[in-house]
Chains A and B, each alone.
Chain A
C-alpha cells in the first residue's frame, strides 16, 4: 500500500463548479499535511497547509480527519486557472522528508 494515496483523475469540471479531492495516508504518526499544486511541466508549489480544525483560503477549503487518516481539498467556483495537478503531501517527522501522493489532475473547462 502506498503511503499517500490519491485518485489520479482526471477530474473534468465546468467553470464555476465545486470539486473535491480526497487523499488517504497510511502512517498514523504523520504530523503535518499539505496540498501542493503542480502545473504541467512546472515545479510543485505549496497551496495550503491542512489543520485538524479545517482551514479555508478563499475558494479553497482543506479538511483533515486523523481518525480516518483522510485529507480533503474542496475548490469552490472553479476557474480555468485552477487546472493543474493537486498533490497531497504528508510529513511524518522521520527521515526528514515529505511524502507526496501521485496527484489528482483537475481540468476546468468553459
Chain B
C-alpha cells in the first residue's frame, strides 16, 4: 500500500519568507509526527498528533513553527520568517497509534528545506 508521502521534496526559500510543508500519512494511522534532521545531527522531535487530542508541541523550537492536522489525516508544518538555521530535512512519520511503546513509525521521504 501507499506509504507516507511528503511535499515538496525540495524547497529553497529566502530568509524571512514563510514556508508550508505537507505530509500525507498512511491511511488509517491515527498518530502523526514531525521531526527535523540537520546535517550531521540526529532526528529532532518537533510535534505529535494523536487522533483528536491536543497535539504535543513540546519539540517546536520557536513560535515561528506551527503545525496543524486537518480531518485527522493530512498535516501541514508551517515555518514563518524562515532563518538560515531552519535549513534541514523535515521528516514526517505516522503510526497506528494503538500503543505508543510498540507502535512502529513509518517515515516519509522528507522535505529538504534550504534557506538562503
Inter-chain contact A99/B91, CB cutoff 8 Å: no
Inter-chain contact A97/B48, CB cutoff 8 Å: yes
Inter-chain contact B56/A102, CB cutoff 8 Å: no
On chain B, the residues within 8 Å of A103 by CB distance are 42
Could you say which of A43, A46, A93, A102 contacts B41, with CB atoms under 8 Å apart?
A102
Number of A-B contacts defined by CB within 8 Å: 51
Does B25 count as interface, using CB distance less than 8 angstroms? no
Inter-chain contact A98/B42, CB cutoff 8 Å: no
**Bound CA span A96–B109, Å:** 22
Inter-chain contact B100/A46, CB cutoff 8 Å: no
Inter-chain contact A98/B107, CB cutoff 8 Å: no
Inter-chain contact A43/B48, CB cutoff 8 Å: no
The smallest C-beta distance from B33 to any residue of chain A, in angstroms, reads: 7
**Number of chain A interface residues as a range:** 20 to 34
On chain A, the residues within 8 Å of B104 by CB distance are 46
Interface of B (DSSP majority class): loop
Inter-chain contact A96/B101, CB cutoff 8 Å: no
Q: Determine the residue in chain A with the shortest Cβ distance to B108.
A: A43
**Bound CA span A77–B105, Å:** 28
**Bound CA span A103–B101, Å:** 21
The smallest C-beta distance from B104 to any residue of chain A, in angstroms, reads: 5
The smallest C-beta distance from A31 to any residue of chain B, in angstroms, reads: 5
Does A64 count as interface, using CB distance less than 8 angstroms? no
Since A31-B101, A45-B107, A97-B59 are in contact, a sample of 10 more A-B pairs with Cβ atoms closer than 8 Å, ordered by chain A residue number, is A43-B91, A43-B110, A49-B102, A93-B101, A96-B50, A97-B33, A97-B45, A98-B45, A102-B40, A103-B42
Q: A residues engaging B (CB < 8 A)?
A: 4, 31-32, 42-46, 49, 87, 91, 93, 95-103
Q: B residues engaging A (CB < 8 A)?
A: 33, 35, 40-43, 45, 48, 50, 56, 58-59, 91, 100-102, 104-105, 107-110
